[in-house]
Structure 1
Amino acid sequence: MDHAPQHDGLRHHGDVDAEPGLLDFAVNVQGTGPPRWLRDRIAAVLDDLGRYPSAAHDRAAREAVAARHGRRPDEVLVLAGSAEGFALLPTLRPRLAAVLHPGFTEPEAALRAAGVPVSRVLTDAADGHRLHPAAVPAGADLVVVGNPTNPTGVLHPADDVRALAAPGRVVLVDEAFADAVPGETESLAGEPGPLVFRSLTKTWALAGLRAGYALGSPELLARLARTRPPWPVSTPALEAVIACCEPAAVAQAQEAAATLALLRAEQAAALSAVDGVTVLPGRAPYLLLRLPDGHGERVRAELREAGIAVRRGDTFPGLGPDHLRVAVRPAAAVAELAAALAAALAAPLDRSMATFTQPDGVEVAMLPSGGAR
């Protein structure tokens, strides 16, 4: 467990690494834009932009989400992306928040910015970054866990997540990538009790639209929404939520998840074959890589010079500069990444003075033993 203070890297996200023109392994969005049918659904409401988003449209979106997950409409809060949900967490007024790490950093960043004490619960690579509910401080009245977790890709058993429940405690499960797991196994979206965030950004390539939703008890959602401004979710986003929750769309997402699982296995095999690359096990549409000690910063720079963007790992608490996260991509792109990794790792490392740059901009020299000074 780590009570570390906030640092600037908490708000570093993959879009910063993925500059235009680079082959993008840094951002976990699938494709460059939504499918044609979804574009058409969104475009069909553009003539309504002269009017404010309506309560009826919001109700229709909540009804669609409720039907998709077997919930009631009053157990749904439509969000301007999961990021809005994280920004609302301080309205729950937690006394102590516990955040599972390595994990998505935006919840901790939002909580710390509001002055909420945060305890980091660090998982261990030695046991596959498993969640151990007993490691969470008993006094934490808000617990945040990703499932599957970003960036490790670990899919925690639903029973382990359920075990986080305690009287007076809110358990937030970030299921941003749950629809990219075949069968959505281990999801708690259909169960009362936890607060669950879902995103439409990844599977449907809607990062620029900002659309998602929260699932929870009506009382909890009312507390979460207490400080929201009027009309927080746009008309196109409401329509996208409706469209993506319809049975045909859910079936299409599951077909895509099955394809992604196959591509992930092939990508893991291709990258594991590169000398010096360790692929950590996971189930998400991205892979966490570990490179030999002291090579990470140089390799990442050489990949960028080769036209390839990857997500740096050292801004995730519990990881270091020798970790990289890469999105699942088609075979041709993976072959290009594997070749560039092999070329970069074949270059000798000057162990007498290798350096990497921390997220706060401070350059750190690596000693021959691998330690930092």
Structure 2
Amino acid sequence: MHTEHDLRHHGDAEVRDDGAALTDLAVNVRTGTPPAWLRERIADSLPGLAAYPDGRAARAAVAARHGLPVERVLLTAGAAEAFVLLARALKVRRPVVVHPQFTEPEAALRDAGHTVGRVLLRAEDGFRLDPAAVSEGADLVVIGNPTNPTSVLHPAEMIASLARPGRTLVVDEAFMDAVPGEREALAGRTDVPGLVVLRSLTKTWGLAGLRIGYVLAAPDTIADLERAQPLWPVSTPALAAAEACVSPRALAEAEEAARRIAADRAHLVAGLRRFAPAGLRVAEPAEGPFVLIRLPDAAGVRHRLRGLGFAVRRGDTFPGLGDEWLRLAVRDRGTVDRFLGALGRALP
């Protein structure tokens, strides 16, 4: 069993101790969120807190957003709960997780008593997956798209080619709404056998403290997961947020934000390339709202950046990465320029 990485370490740990004293490039939640209109929608739900949550309207709204029947939708307390439900409810014997990626899927599978296989993607290959690397015997495969922390956007048809009779194919699309046009999305597809797509509403909309996400899958899989959930797992305010975040207005705003993030990411990557003589390398092409970099003395650089007021995400807790990697959340150009100045002072 693999034990060399701290699978429970996440970006919030990088800023928890110092709070507002640090500019946060460690957590992949869009800044300036939730927007005022969304806060108002959530606040409007508060008078109904005496009643038990009723998720029917939110579930129907998510289904309509993806053109699916409601039987293919399950609302969850963030994508993290969905990973726990999958690990506990599905009867699998040979799960495989494609790394580097978000570590909660493997952690949840281990906690449920599973022995987890790994497919480790290599920097030399641009962290891109060769489907042949996944064992034919795997009956559960988990992959992120775009992948956290590598920012790789895998082709949808390549991921779909991993489907097999008797296999559950789990695709974590928590950051897909940060990709302009959501190209390469599998959400809404019903032609891929065993497909389970996870979506999070916490990243783009700044709702990490509210916990809301959802699962899209075949009705029998949704039923299995729902039986594993506790009663009323999603709060009334979170349900109100879910319904609001899949509205036409919200989808248009998310698309605009995705295009802005793409421009800000290009600005960040161009600035990072200037440090190539110091040994810094960017994992490219980056397609998510974060960038992965490799550099000498990354741990020391991270420590010095904290002293200069910036928090970044260490990379060594991700299987497949070592202590020479850091992940940077994409921020606005002003913040990026200030960060690049600090990085120049923090490099050896």
Give the superposition deviation at 1:8. 5.7
Q: Is the 8 A contact 2:5 2:319 kept in 1?
A: no
Aligned position for 1:147: 145
Distance (whole Å) between structure 1 residues aligned to residue 225 and residue 183 of structure 2:
27
RMSD value, Cα:
1.1
The alpha-carbon deviation at position 336 of structure 1 amounts to 2.0
298, 301, 305: which is aligned to 2:307? 305
- Cα distance in 2 for partners of 1:23, 1:31 equals 11
AA at the equivalent of 1:308:
F
Deviation at 1:89, TM superposition (A): 1.6
Query: Residue 29 of structure 2 corresponds to which residue in structure 1?
Result: 29
- The reply to whether residue 85 of structure 1 matches residue 82 of structure 2 is yes
Contact 2:79 2:199 survives alignment (8 Å):
yes
Structure 2 partner of 1:236: 237
Correspondence 1:148-227 to 2 at 5 A: 148-192=146-190, 193=192, 194-227=195-228
Q: Deviations over 1:196-248 (max 9, x none)?
A: 00000111011100011100111011112222111000001111110001111
SS at match of 2:49: helix
Pick from 278, 286, 289: which aligns with 1:285? 289
Structure-2 change in CA distance of 1:324 and 1:148 (3 Å): same
- 8 Å contact from structure 2 (residues 271, 340) kept in 1: yes
Contact 2:31 2:331 in 1 (8 A): no
Deviations 1:36-63 (Å, cap 9, x if unpaired)? 1101111001001111112xxx111111
Contact 1:62 1:74 in 2 (8 A): no
Could you tell me which residue of structure 2 aligns to residue 257 of structure 1?
258
Structure-1 residue corresponding to 2:333? 331
What secondary structure, in the 3-state scheme, does the structure 2 residue paired with 1:324 have?
Answer: strand
Stretch moving more, 86-95 or 107-116: 86-95
1:277 is matched by which residue type in structure 2?
L
Tell me if structure 1 keeps the 8 A contact 2:24–2:312: yes
Cα distance in 2 for residues equivalent to 1:108 and 1:22: 30
Q: Deviations over 1:98-134 (max 9, x none)?
A: 1010000000000011111111101111121111111
SS for the counterpart of 2:7 is helix
Q: Is the Cα–Cα contact under 8 Å of residues 82 and 198 in structure 1 kept in the other structure?
A: yes
* Runs of 4+ residues deviating >4 angstroms: none
Q: Deviations over 1:233-266 (max 9, x none)?
A: 0001111110001111101100110111011001
Amino acid in the other structure paired with 1:201: T
The amino acid that maps onto 2:222 is L
Aligned residue number for residue 72 of structure 2:
75
User: Which residue in 1 is equivalent to 2:61?
Assistant: 64
SS of 1:31's partner is: coil
Mind listing any 5+ residue stretches in structure 1 that lack a counterpart? 348-373
**Matching of residues 11-26 of structure 1 within 5 Å:** 11-19=8-16, 20=19, 21-26=21-26
For 2:131 and 2:227, how far apart are their aligned partners in 1?
A: 29
Q: How does 1:127-138 map to 2 (within 5 A)?
A: 127-138=125-136
User: Identity, % of aligned pairs?
Assistant: 56
Alignment of 1:38-117 (within 5 A): 38-54=38-54, 58-90=55-87, 91-117=89-115
Amino acid aligned to 1:86? F
Separation (CA, whole Å) in 2 of partners of 1:241 and 1:7: 37
For 1:307 and 1:78, the matched residues in 2 are separated by 37
2:271 & 2:226 partners in 1: Cα distance? 45
SS of 1:74's equivalent in the other structure is helix
1:369 aligns with: none
Report how far residue 7 of structure 1 moved.
4.5
* Matched length: 338
Equivalent of 2:346 in 344, 347, 350: 344
Superposition deviation, residue 338 in structure 1: 1.3
State whether residues 6 and 112 of structure 1, in contact with CA within 8 Å, keep that contact through their aligned partners in structure 2. no
What is the CA distance between 1:323 and its match in structure 2? 0.3
Which stretch shifts more, 168-177 or 269-278? 269-278
- When normalised by structure 1's length, the TM-score is 0.89
Shift of 1:32: 4.4
Deviation per CA, 1:283-327, whole angstroms, max 9, x where unpaired?
A: 0000001102xx111111111111110000000001111100000
Q: 1:176 to 1:164 in 2, by over 3 A?
A: same
Q: Which runs of 5+ in 2 are unaligned?
A: none
Matching residue's letter, 1:250: L
